[in-house]
Chains A and B, each alone.
Chain A
Amino acid sequence: EAQVTQNPRYLITVTGKKLTVTCSQNMNHEYMSWYRQDPGLGLRQIYYSMNVEVTDKGDVPEGYKVSRKEKRNFPLILESPSPNQTSLYFCASRTDQSSYEQYFGPGTRLTVT
């Protein structure tokens, strides 16, 4: 089954404790991205990657890091989480930058206290 998986699905952590949210897709997609969703603001793109070893900032990259060492994986790293990073995070992938169909993961709900 074609899918995007994220782990963990729920995470409660404390300020400053480094964490990683994993994302994996099994569709051999080149393009992957991370979004955060906050009430009243819609989804905002954090980072995206057009292929292995190619990443770029989205609209709200501050406080986040990503890496793309393998085509299927695109982890999101919070080196020093802060309460304003409490949000619902989605990973997404599509065949390439110009393709229309985008597949979303189930989301990770992060709470930083």
Chain B
Amino acid sequence: KQEVTQIPAALSVPEGENLVLNCSFTDSAIYNLQWFRQDPGKGLTSLLLIQSSQREQTSGRLNASLDKSSGRSTLYIAASQPGDSATYLCAVRPPDYKLSFGAGTTVTVRA
């Protein structure tokens, strides 16, 4: 059974600092990995999706890398802003299409 772990569970940084969020998974047989953002009282918003054949994906200040063989993904957020404060979740999709989620990293960016 796929296990997805996100460490740390919470992170607090001053505005302007780069954020590094980690996601690890136990079974490397995945189709893709997604990073989501969750705001209080709202659903999940998809940020980036990396196919299993890709090494990284970029969108604006966000960059996600994937090392399938070692079971790791990293989400980088450059020059953090208070508006980046949220919980970030990673999810992997194995061949049976069922998403397996990590517990998330709650980020606070201090102004």
Contacts and interface: CB of A to CB of B under 8 A. Distances in A.
Interface of A: 4, 9, 35, 39-45, 48, 58-59, 90, 92, 97-98, 100-107
A104 B99 contact: no
Nearest to A40: B103
Given A100-B32, A101-B49, A102-B34, 13 more contacts: A35-B101, A42-B100, A43-B89, A43-B99, A43-B101, A44-B101, A48-B98, A58-B98, A59-B98, A92-B43, A103-B43, A104-B45, A107-B42
Tell me if A's interface is mostly helix, strand, loop or mixed: loop
Contacts of A42: 4, 89, 100-104
B53 interface: no
Contacts of A103: 43
B98 A45 contact: yes
A90 B43 contact: yes
Contacts of B101: 35, 42-44
Contact-residue bracket for chain B: 20 to 34
Nearest to A90: B43
Interface string B42-56: 111110010000000
Contact of A106 (B32, B43, B46, B97): B43
B66 to A, nearest CB: 14
B103 A106 contact: no
Contacts of B46: 101-102
Given A40-B103, A42-B89, A97 B43 contact: no
B41 A107 contact: yes
A49 B9 CA distance: 31
Which of B43, B49, B89 has the most C-beta atoms of chain A within 10 angstroms of its own C-beta?
A: B43
